[in-house]
C-alpha cells in the first residue's frame, strides 16, 4: 500500500558480491534516473562486494557506465530488513552508531546480477520476512542461474537447446580421459562457460583443442561447475518477457539481434565498454511467422522455469530453428540494454517498464 504521501515506497537493492557488481550498479543508476518520482519513493540499498547492506544516496550520477564500472562503497551505514512478516519497517544504523527508522517499504526491487542476488538467495530472504519483491521467485531464480539445470528443464519441456557437457575439477581429476572424450564429441568450436555466472564473465570460445585447458581455467575461476557447449551457427536473437497480469499469459516483445562484425562473440567489453565489433539491432528482421515462433518458444520457456516478473530469452536462429541459449531472470536493465530496448520497440518506454515491473511485484502472491 502507498504511504501517507500517496507514493509507493521501493527498496532498490544493487551491487552485490558477484563479478557483475558494477553492472548491477549501472542498472540501478538507470532506474534511479528514470523512475516516476510523482508515484514512487526510493530507498537505495547498496550491497558492497563483501555483502554489507548500506544506505546509499538517491542519486544516479555516481552510478553510470564509463571507463570504469561504478561500485558500492562502504560508507559505514548498515541497513536492517524487517524482523518478521509482521512489519515492513526498515531501519539503518548510521556511521556514528545511531539508529533510525527508514519507514515501511511496499516492495523490494533487487537489481542484482549473478550469484548472491539473481540466484534465489536474496529472494529467499524477502520471502522469510514477507516482503513483496520484483522479479522471479526462489525456484526460477536458482534454476535459471545454473545453465546446466536450465538446459535440463528446457529440454524436458521440448525446447531445443545446444548439446552440452557439464564438468567440475573433481570429475576432471578423477577421470579426465572420460570427460575430455565427452567434450571432444561436441566437436569444435565450443563455448566454455561458468555454469552460474552472467554478462559473459569467464566465457571463452574455443576453436582449437589446445585452447581448452586455458578456457576451463578461466571458467573455473568464476564457478566450481563449468559448461562446455557446442557452438551453434546462427543469428543471435533475443527477446524480452513480462509476466502476464492477473495470471494471464506471458507477454513477449519483438526481437532484437546481436550482429557480430569483427568480434568472436558478444563478450563483456562489447556489452558494457562499447568495444567495437558488435551492432545491436532492434527490432530484428524476422518474418512474421518467425517472430511468432520465437515469441511462442520464449513464453514456453518462461513458464517452464516457473518465471515471474521478467526475463530475457536468448536464442540462436539457424534460419529454420530457434535454439534457446539462456534465460536471464534479471537481465541487464540500463536504458541501453537489450531488455528495455526490445520493449521500447514494442511500445513500452523505460519509465513505463519500471512501473509495470513494480506493479507485477506488488500483485504476486508467492
pLDDT digits (tens, 9 = 90+) for 318-328: 999 999 999 99
Mean pLDDT of 256-263: 80
**Residue 366 DSSP label:** -
Q: Measured between alpha carbons, how far is residue 85 from residues 81, 137, 220 in Å?
A: 10, 17, 39
C-alpha cell at 325: 541459449
Say which residue the cell 520484483 belongs to: 134
Peptide bond into 187 cis (omega under 30): no
Over residues 92-116, the mean pLDDT reads: 96
Cβ neighbours of 279 (radius 10 Å): 11
Whether residue 16 is predicted with pLDDT greater than 60 in this model: the reply is yes
Report residue 262 as a C-alpha cell.
Answer: 569483427
Q: How far apart are CA 333 and CA 135, in angstroms?
A: 12
Q: CATH top-level class for 164-230?
A: alpha beta
Contact between residue 355 and residue 36 where contact means Cβ atoms under 8 Å apart: yes
**The pLDDT value given to residue 51:** 97
Distance CA 299, CA 295 (A): 6
**Separation CA 162–CA 356 (nearest Å):** 33
| Residue-averaged pLDDT of the chain | 92
Over the stretch 69-81, which tens digit does the pLDDT of each residue have? 899 999 999 999 9
Q: Are 126 and 133 within 8 A, CB to CB?
A: yes
Residues 6+ apart with CB under 8 A from 1: 106
- Read off the pLDDT of each residue in 98-112 and give the average, rounded to a whole number: 97
Return the closest-CA partner of residue 161 out of 150, 169, 172: 150
> Is the pLDDT confidence value at 265 over 60?
no
User: pLDDT value at position 196?
Assistant: 86
Residues of CATH 3.30.470.20 domain(s) within the chain? 144-161+234-363
Q: 133: which DSSP letter?
A: B
| Whether pLDDT at 247 is above 90 | no
Query: What length does the chain have?
Result: 366
Q: At how many degrees (to 10) do helices 288-304 and 147-156 cross?
A: 110
The CA distances from residue 111 to 21, 224, 333, in Å, are 10, 24, 8
Give the architecture-level CATH label for domain 8-133: 3-Layer(aba) Sandwich (3.40)
Give the residue, 223 or 242, on which the prediction is more confident: 242
Dihedral pair phi/psi, residue 44, rounded to 5°? -80, 120
Q: What is the pLDDT of residues 269-296, one digit of tens each?
A: 555 545 556 888 999 999 999 999 999 9
Residue 345 falls in which region: left (phi positive, over 0), alpha (psi -120 to 50) or beta? alpha
Mean pLDDT for 100-108 is: 98
For residues 48 and 15, is the Cβ–Cβ distance under 8 A?
A: yes
Residue span(s) of the chain under CATH 3.30.1490.20 come to 164-230
CATH superfamily of 144-161+234-363: ATP-grasp fold, B domain (3.30.470.20)
What's the distance, Cα to Cα, between the start and end of the chain in Å?
17
How much of the chain is in helix, strand and coil states, percent to nearest 5?
30, 25, 40
Q: Which three cell numbers stand for residue 257?
A: 539481434
Rg over CA atoms, the chain: 21
Q: Are 57 and 44 in contact (CB under 8 A)?
A: yes
Return the pLDDT at 364: 72
Domain with CATH 3.40.50.20 in the chain: 8-133
Amino acid at each position: 500500500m502507498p504511504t501517507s504521501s500517496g507514493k509507493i515506497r521501493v527498496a532498490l537493492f544493487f551491487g552485490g558480491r558477484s563479478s557483475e557488481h558494477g553492472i548491477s550498479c549501472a542498472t540501478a543508476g538507470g532506474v534511479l534516473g528514470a523512475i516516476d518520482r510523482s508515484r514512487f519513493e526510493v530507498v537505495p540499498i547498496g550491497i558492497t562486494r563483501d555483502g554489507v547492506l548500506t544506505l546509499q544516496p538517491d542519486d544516479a550520477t555516481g552510478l553510470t557506465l564509463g571507463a570504469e564500472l561504478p561500485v558500492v562503497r562502504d560508507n559505514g551505514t548498515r541497513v536492517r530488513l524487517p524482523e518478521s512478516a509482521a512489519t515492513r519497517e526498515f531501519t539503518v544504523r548510521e556511521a556514528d552508531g545511531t539508529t533510525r527508522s527508514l519507514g515501511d517499504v511496499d516492495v523490494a526491487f533487487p537489481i542484482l546480477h549473478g550469484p548472491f542476488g539473481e540466484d534465489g538467495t536474496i529472494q529467499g530472504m524477502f520471502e522469510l520476512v514477507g516482503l513483496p519483491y520484483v522479479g522471479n521467485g526462489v525456484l526460477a531464480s536458482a534454476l535459471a542461474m545454473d545453465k546446466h539445470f536450465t538446459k535440463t528443464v528446457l529440454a524436458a519441456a521440448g525446447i531445443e537447446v545446444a548439446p552440452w557437457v557439464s564438468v567440475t575439477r573433481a570429475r576432471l581429476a578423477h577421470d579426465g580421459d572420460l570427460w575430455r572424450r565427452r567434450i571432444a564429441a561436441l566437436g569444435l568450436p565450443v563455448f566454455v562457460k561458468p555454469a552460474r555466472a552472467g554478462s559473459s564473465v569467464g566465457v571463452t570460445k574455443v576453436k582449437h583443442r589446445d585452447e581448452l585447458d586455458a578456457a576451463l581455467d578461466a571458467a573455473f575461476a568464476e564457478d566450481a561447475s563449468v559448461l562446455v557447449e557446442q557452438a551453434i551457427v546462427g543469428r543471435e536473437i533475443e527477446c524480452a518477457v513480462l509476466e502476464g497480469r492477473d495470471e494471464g499469459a506471458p507477454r513477449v516483445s519483438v526481437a532484437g539481434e546481436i550482429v557480430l562484425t569483427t568480434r568472436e562473440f558478444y563478450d563483456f567489453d562489447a556489452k558494457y565498454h562499447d568495444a567495437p565489433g558488435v551492432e545491436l539491432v532492434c527490432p530484428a528482421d524476422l518474418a512474421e511467422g518467425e517472430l511468432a515462433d520465437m515469441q511462442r518458444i520464449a513464453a514456453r520457456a518462461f513458464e517452464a522455469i516457473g518465471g515471474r516478473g521478467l526475463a530475457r530469452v536468448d536464442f540462436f536462429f539457424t534460419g529454420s530453428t530457434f535454439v534457446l541459449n539462456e534465460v536471464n531472470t534479471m537481465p541487464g536493465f540500463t536504458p541501453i540494454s537489450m531488455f528495455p530496448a526490445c520493449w521500447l520497440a514494442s511500445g513500452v518506454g523505460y519509465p513505463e517498464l519500471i512501473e509495470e515491473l513494480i506493479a507485477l511485484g506488488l500483485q504476486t502472491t508467492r
